[in-house]
A and B are shown apart, each in its own frame.
Chain A
Amino acid sequence: AQSVTQLGSHVSVSEGALVLLRCNYSSSVPPYLFWYVQYPNQGLQLLLKYTSAATLVKGINGFEAEFKKSETSFHLTKPSAHMSDAAEYFCAVSALNTGGGNKLTFGTGTQLKVEL
């Protein structure tokens, strides 16, 4: 079984400030981890993914995430927030050999607000 916990359903930052969105996972086998972003009235778009290569993963729009096995975490960061980053962010986990392709288990999402 696998699960994802996203701490903080709403996060607010000032433009130019550090963005930190938290994600902790549980998985009985080595996981694949994903961060998706959802803009209003749109589908989800992949930001980045961890697939057991480098533990520091760089994604689109200046985002990155670090896989920490000891902490079972995959937090998303961006050094300097931009107004266009305001969106909902979802962390998701899938696992090797679960059948059904890469079935994803999603966290409940974090709404990021960027203020001037």
Chain B
Amino acid sequence: DAGITQSPRYKITETGRQVTLMCHQTWSHSYMFWYRQDLGHGLRLIYYSAAADITDKGEVPDGYVVSRSKTENFPLTLESATRSQTSVYFCASSAGTGGNEQFFGPGTRLTVL
């Protein structure tokens, strides 16, 4: 299917475990982004990528790791999950800079017990 997909849609894990959230887009967009959404904070940028093998930190990167070996995939890994990382995570992609729209995936709801 064309578009941007995320998996899993729902995940429950325990404190200290490693978790990887997957993001895949079929448009060959250069830019990809990871956000977390929390009540009272809106969406906050965790990491972004301008192209394969180019990534950079956003506003709240601590505790997260990303990679981008292929243009279409941008996985987000929580190396040792904490309760404060319970959130809804959104992946997005964009064709270019400036006024280009970001297209969002459906989100992954992560609960850390």
Q: Which residues of A contact B (CB under 8 A)?
A: 9, 32, 34, 36, 41-46, 49-52, 90, 94, 96, 100-109
Contacts and interface: CB of A to CB of B under 8 A. Distances in A.
11 contacts: A34-B101, A43-B106, A43-B107, A44-B43, A44-B92, A94-B99, A100-B48, A101-B48, A102-B94, A102-B100, A108-B40
Interface size class of B (residues with CB under 8 A): 20 to 34
Nearest to A33: B99
A52 B94 CA distance: 19
- A contacts with B: majority SS: loop
A49 B58 contact: no
Contact of A104 (B40, B50, B102): B102
A32 B96 CA distance: 13
Contact of A101 (B31, B106, B107): B31
Contacts of A50: 99
Contact of A42 (B48, B56, B100, B106): B106
Interface of B: 30-31, 33, 35, 40-45, 48, 50, 56, 58, 90, 92, 94, 96-107
